Each structure stands twice: as C-alpha cells, then as structure tokens.
Structure 1
Amino acid sequence: MLSTMPSFAAKQVLKRVPTIAQHSLSVVPFALKAKIITELLSVLMKEQMEDEELGFLIGRWVAIKVTDFNLSFEVSYDNKWLVREPFEADVTFSADSIALIQVAAGVEDPDTLFFQRQLCIEGDTELGLEVKNLLLAIELDQLPTFMRKSVEQLARGVATLQRKSSEMLHQKNASL
C-alpha cells in the first residue's frame, strides 16, 4: 500500500504523524506512559535482566527524548525497571522517532546516527556507551513475534515513506 502512495502524500504523512502523536501523547497520563515503558523494557531486556547485566544502571538515570513526539522520560534499573518524568539524568539520548525506529529495527547503528547528528548523547559518556552497547545487544529474533514483526514493519513503512518523499524532492529539482 505504501509503495503506491504518491510522493506528496508520503511527505505529508512523515510531516503530520509526529504532530498527531505529540497531541495524542499529551493527553495520556504519565503514570500510564510509565507503565507501558516499564512493560516494554521488561520484554526487550528480559535476557539481560535474567543474566544480571543491568547492574551498571542501579542508581543511574538515563533520559530518553523523542524530539518530534515531545516525549521525555527517564529510566533506571534496580531489580526492576523504574521510570520517571524528566528530572536530572546522568545521560540523555535525544532523537526523532524515525531515528529511534531505525535503531530498534537494527536498520541503523546508533554510532552512524550519532555522527550524522540524528542521535544526540549528552552527559556521562561512559554510561552512554554502556547503554548503547546494551541496546546493540538486543536481538530482534528473541523478541516476541508480534513485537519483532511490528518493529520491522514500522521500519519498512518509514523507509518507504522516506523514499517516496525523497522522490518528490528529486522530481522537483529535475523540473527546475
């Protein structure tokens, strides 16, 4: 379906989805967001939790900012996931939703996005590297099928929309 979408429509979808998501997320109570984030982390990091690989997060807070969704939160781990509203994190990861989807799907490496200035890491560099390495250790194959397929489809959809949107730009430049 997305492959047949006109390039103008693809550009509009890429432009409008963050605005819609931003509005939708603004009406969701933080407690519900925190519960969802906690559940997602528990599924994503199940193996690391079982292998006791998260000790470096005890007493440390990692902020995540999804810039185009205006979504910010902090996470820590102390034998369970802790999620709070932004306060005073040790390290902060900031990116737009597309960059984060690409990382989650394994389509893009966080280092590449960092050097392309699409992913910003501020604060405790050592903790930031440990978190980045933890994220890279997540194997999509170990995720529940519905979650893995959702992330993969979302990444493919975003790539298609970006390609279509880029086609519009190339067509516009060719006509000049």
Structure 2
Amino acid sequence: MLPRPPLGPIRALLLPLLNQRLAAPLRDGELDFLEGRSVSIAVRELPLPIKLGLSEGRLWLDWADASVDARLSGDARALLQMALGSADGDALFFQRRLAMEGDTELAMELKSLLGRYPLLPAPPFSLPGLGTV
C-alpha cells in the first residue's frame, strides 16, 4: 500500500469548493442526512480514496478507511461529469461507471445532492468527451 500524502493540500483545495458550492443546501438542511456519517469517494484510477462527512454542521475530509458508512466510486471521467453537472448520476450507475457500496441509501442521497448542485462551473470552452451521457 502506498504511503498517504499529506491531506492538507487536498483539504485546502476541496473544502473551500465544497463549502462554497454546497452553502445553500447546507444552510437549508439538505445535507443533514450526512451528519455524523461519512462516505468514501474513490476515483478508480487513483489509489487513495477520500471520505467526506458532516459534523456539527461542518463538512470535513479525511483519507478513507474501513469506518465509512458508504462508498461511492467511479472512473475519473464519470466523476468529473458529475462534478460539472453534465451527466446524470443514475445513468452513470446503470452504465456501471458509478458504483455504490455499504449504506447505499446514504450514497444515493449524496449522488442525488451532487446532481442537483454541481461542484464545478461549466467551462467556457468545450471539453471533448465530457458532454452529457
């Protein structure tokens, strides 16, 4: 197993993005399903998944371990399409490009939330192969 790199730079990149893009749903209680729980998010092409959780109304990230309640994994292209809002998570699941394990209800709620609130703005130029599915 590879040694884990420092998590600080990953947190510095991802937490502000998550807090900005999910501010309204967090404020409106749409992330309450995640309180005290965690979901592993794994890019299949990368060796180290992260876990996302909510504690006392605040999002947090850590390296994933066996303690996660659910796992959401997919190929890099599928997860990028979800982050851009250019692909439907259900379609990706039925195409077997997105997988859920553990508490699948929890993973499905997170997948649905990410479908409603894309994490990345649409780029001002075309990205070949990242259109809708």
What is the TM-score when the length of structure 2 is the normalising length? 0.82
Residue 80 of structure 1 is matched in structure 2 by 58
Bigger-Rg structure (1/2):
1
Structure 1 CA distance for aligned equivalents of residues 127 and 15 of structure 2: 26
Cα offset, 1:86, TM superposition:
1.1
State the identity %. Answer: 33
Residue 148 of structure 1 is matched in structure 2 by 121
Structure 2 CA distance for aligned equivalents of residues 158 and 28 of structure 1: 31
Q: 1:130-168 deviations in whole A, cap 9, x for unaligned? A: 112211221x5xx7xxx5144x64xx32417xxxxxxxx
Structure 1 CA distance for aligned equivalents of residues 36 and 26 of structure 2: 16
- Secondary structure at the aligned position of 2:85 is classed as coil
Larger fraction in strand: 2
Task: Trace 1:24-103 onto structure 2 (pairs within 5 A).
Answer: 29-78=6-55, 79-87=57-65, 88-103=67-82
Q: 1:76-124 deviations in whole A, cap 9, x for unaligned? A: 0121111111112111111111111111222221111111111111110
Cα offset, 1:27, TM superposition:
8.8
Change (3 A) 1:68 1:42: same
- Secondary structure at the aligned position of 1:157 is classed as coil
Where structure 1 has 5 or more consecutive residues not aligned to the other structure, the ranges are: 1-25, 161-176
CA RMSD between the two structures: 2.3
Change (3 A) 1:158 1:56: same
Larger fraction in helix: 1
Q: 1:157 corresponds to which letter in structure 2?
A: L
Equivalenced residue count is: 126
